[in-house]
Amino acid sequence: MKLRWNPIVKKDLQVTARSMRLSWGLFAYEAVLTMTFLMALSIIQQSSRSFYSSGNVYGKLIYLFPVLAVAQVCIVAMIVPVITASSISGEKERQTFDIMLTTCMSPFSIVLGKVMSAVLRILFFVVAGMPIMALAFVVGGLSWSYLFYFVLTIILLSVLSGSIGILCSALCRRSITAVILSYAFYFVVYGLTFLPMFLKLFMTHAENVGESMLLLLFNPIIFYEEFFMQLMTGESVFGQNGSMFSRDEVGFITYHLSQGRAWVFLSAACILLLSLLLLMAAAWKVNPMHSSSGRRRKKK
């Protein structure tokens, strides 16, 4: 079977590659990453010169990895919705979307193509930032495979952020509204998933948050916290003594999920599932045969 490129991915990459925005975007990305690296290095150096420090700066350099990784995660989380939220609404604004819908591409292929092209564009940035990331590895203490795992998580985060953006893009007529709605959606995924846990803690004064934490499987913040905790210490954020959630405080299921790397894998699966649902919702919304009677189209 011949493997076919999604035509939208091909077109988006062609158009992006010729755009000045890509060059400026790469420049800005590298600049932010370099600044973060230098600031982190400076803090590590200063702390190693203090009276109480052993003076071994090299032992602390491995912390450059989580610092740079978190910086990249934040940048990716911020820019992916901007790329995807304007994708469908941008096509509508350009009046190219109707033509796209009259072709043999299914609405799902169209939205998937848009998200895939956003993920690939993000990978340009991440790969370009690899040499800076790799500086954290030269001192040893970290396995090179961590870089690969990190790239996988970035793809996962890009897919989730892209799916949020594409759904908002399908819901809104204007790109700017779609971008704003995407960040509002972020608040739901990143913030409101904590709500059941906080409600249980504060409303019932319970000592045990129980299974109200399970909604956090969909939360990328907790996913990354657990991911870095596993990589750097081999411990789970739920099981570490003195952490916010000790084993006594979490429920039975959450406790068992915190063993080994189960939470990371299950959370990744949940995030992928959520992304798929969002993609399907976006495809349903853009399908003219599914949408309701709608508004009358104004002629330009």
Partner 1 sequence: MSLCGSIEKGRGIGMLYINDLTKNYGSFTAVNHLSLHIPEGDLFGFVGPNGAGKTTTIRIVCGLLRASGGSVRIGGTSAAVGSKVMKRMIGYVPDFFGVYDNLKVREYMDMYGSMYGMDSRDIAKLTDDLLELVNLSDKKEEYVDTLSRGMKQRLCVARALLHNPKLLILDEPSSGLDPRARVEMKELLKNLHSMGKTIVISSHILSELSEMCNSIGIMNRGQLITAGRIEDIMQQISGGKRMHIQVASGMESAVRSLKEQPGIRIESVRENEIIMLFNGADEEISALIGLMIQNQVVLTGFYREEGSLESLFMQLTGGGAQ
The footprint of partner 1 (CB under 8 A) covers: 4-5, 7, 10-11, 14-15, 18-19, 93-96, 98-105, 287-291, 293-297, 299-300
Spatial neighbors of 55 by CB under 8 A, at least 6 apart, are 48, 49
Cα separation, 154 vs 3, in Å, equals: 25
CB of 17 to partner 1, least distance (A): 8
CB of 263 to partner 1, least distance (A): 41
Buried b (16+ CB within 10 A) or exposed e, 94-126: eeebeebbeeeeebebbbbbbbbbbbebbebbb
Q: Cβ closer to partner 1: 72 or 87? A: 87
Q: Cβ closer to partner 1: 23 or 45? A: 23
Task: Give the helix/strand (H/E) hosting 270.
Answer: helix 262-286
CB of 25 to partner 1, least distance (A): 15
Q: Cβ closer to partner 1: 11 or 247? A: 11
Q: Cβ closer to partner 1: 22 or 41? A: 22
Give the dihedral sign, CA 290/294/296/298.
negative
CB of 27 to partner 1, least distance (A): 19
Please name which of 282, 283, 209, 200 lies closest in space to residue 244, comparing C-alpha atoms. 209
CB of 108 to partner 1, least distance (A): 13
Cα separation, 87 vs 178, in Å, equals: 10
Q: Cβ closer to partner 1: 21 or 256? A: 21
